[in-house]
Amino acid sequence: FSPYYDTNTYQNSNRKPFNKKSSQPQQLQQPCPTIFIGNLSPTINDNDLMNIFNSLQGYEQHKTIRKDSRVMCFVNFENIQYAGNAINRIQSFNLLSSNRNIVRIEFAKKQTYY
């Protein structure tokens, strides 16, 4: 296991995760410098998220979105390499999830700016 993210491996991967609702393969998200973190607990504190993100190399900014009882976050990094490394690192953190599911961490559908 390498702690570094390899964009070539990701882009050339034939892995297609299954969509739990339809049991059909779904396409992997193309890498971009923004990651998406979903299914966070409504009790999560923005300062706690800031402390985690500040420890990640290449972190630029983040935006936490709270809609009803759903909490999600978009985090921008300097480049795709840093974003991929952050996905690997965040997997090891104990983030509080909502009662609906586990925390979801992946590349965002597109790069976002705040």
pLDDT, greater one: 65 or 11: 65
Sheet containing 59-67: order of strands: 59-67, 70-77, 34-40, 104-107
Query: Which pLDDT tens digit goes with each residue over 39-76?
Result: 999 998 889 899 999 999 999 999 999 998 899 999 99
| Spatial separation of the C-alpha atoms in residues 68 and 85, rounded to whole Å | 31
Q: In 1-114, where do the E strands start and end?
A: 34-40, 59-67, 70-77, 104-107
Global pTM exceeds 0.75: no
Under a CB-based contact definition with an 8 Å cutoff, are residues 104 and 17 in contact? no
